[in-house]
Amino acid sequence: MSEDPDASAIAPSPSGRLLCGGCAPHDACRLGVEIADARDDVVRFEVVCPRSWHGGPGVAHGGWTAAVFDDVLSVVALRVEPRLVTKSLAVSYLRPVPVERPVQVLARIDRHVGRQWEVSAEMTLAGTALATGRAELRTRHPHHFARHEAWLARQTLSPNGSHAES
Ligand SMILES: CCCCCCCCCCCC(=O)SCCNC(=O)CCNC(=O)[C@H](O)C(C)(C)COP(=O)(O)OP(=O)(O)OC[C@H]1O[C@@H](n2cnc3c(N)ncnc32)[C@H](O)[C@@H]1OP(=O)(O)O
């Protein structure tokens, strides 16, 4: 029997880490994110940008920073609700982020009503803000992945390569 995709939830890895589906087989976060401390609605992370994610010389690609915020902003709410998706994500890039240098990220839950979550985080180095992130999260509908698979199955590829709903 195939696994129920809607049962999918982030669970601690063998070494106790919370990891996304892509990183779980590695038992390590490929973005360089580690939880340092978690209490109530606030989680502190130690983050090191791997050199392979550099954009400019010695500094992180903005996509790495956005992906880190997507992770940390989810983790702060995942501790309460394991079935979440990101609805929107806004990042402000204040200063370049160095590669291979630990930076701190503090993430918090600002608001939670029903399925709706508002979360925010700040990335700092020696107390100076490098970037901030803000996201809206949603508790997944019960059949989120099944609905997606059903929608995808209805899409047909036309001869010119474009998709059309059948
Ligand atoms: C240390 C490191 C740790 C690392 C630990 C690892 C952390 C990883 C965390 C990663 C988090 C992510 O990036 S999650 C991946 C990125 N996010 C996503 O894929 C979400 C994609 N967006 C959506 O599914 C939807 O827009 C929602 C669920 C966000 C919408 O929610 P909503 O705003 O409450 O609105 P809702 O009424 O539910 O739905 C709005 C419209 O979308 C349709 N809709 C909703 N869901 C679906 C669906 N599953 N499949 C098809 N259609 C859908 C509805 O029918 C409706 O259509 P109509 O009536 O308007 O026609």
CATH label of the domain that carries residue 131:
3.10.129.10
Determine if ligand 1 sits within 6 Å of the CB of residue 8.
Answer: no
Domain that holds residue 88: 10-140
Q: Using the mean position of ligand 1's atoms as its centre, give its distance from the Cα of residue 84 in Å.
A: 8
- Evaluate the CA torsion angle 88, 78, 25, 44 in order and state its sign: positive
- Residue written as token pair 């996509």: 63
Q: How far apart are CA 19 and CA 22, in angstroms?
A: 8
ipTM exceeding the 0.90 mark = yes
pLDDT at 98: 98
Whether pLDDT at 166 is above 70: no
Average pLDDT, rounded, for the chain: 91
Closest residue by CA, ligand 1 atom 14: 85
Confidence tier at 3 by pLDDT (50, 70, 90)? low
Q: 66 is written with which tokens?
A: 């956005």
Task: Give the predicted TM-score (pTM) of the model.
Answer: 0.92
Q: Is residue 149 part of a domain?
A: no
Overall domain count for the chain? 1
Residue 133 bridge partners (DSSP): 91, 121
Whether pLDDT at 97 is above 80: yes
Atom in ligand 1 nearest the alpha carbon of residue 140? 28
Residue range 137-163: average pLDDT?
88
Whether pLDDT at 2 is above 90: no
Q: Is residue 159 part of a domain?
A: no
Q: Is residue 160 part of a domain?
A: no
Burial class (CB in 10 A: 0-12, 13-18, 19+), 137: buried
CB neighbours of 65 closer than 8 A, spacing ≥ 6? 91, 93, 97, 123, 131
3-state helix, strand, coil in the chain (%, to 5): 20, 40, 35
Q: Is residue 116 part of a domain?
A: yes
Element (H, E) at 69: helix 62-78
Q: Give pLDDT tens digits for 62-95.
A: 999 999 999 999 999 998 998 999 999 999 999 9
pLDDT at 1: 37
pLDDT at 10: 72
State residue 50 phi and psi, 5-degree precision: -60, 145
Determine if ligand 1 sits within 6 Å of the CB of residue 38.
Answer: no
Q: Is residue 16 part of a domain?
A: yes
pLDDT at 14: 83
Q: Is residue 152 part of a domain?
A: no
pLDDT at 17: 85
Whether pLDDT at 161 is above 70: no
- Residue written as token pair 């929107």: 88
Whether pLDDT at 7 is above 60: yes
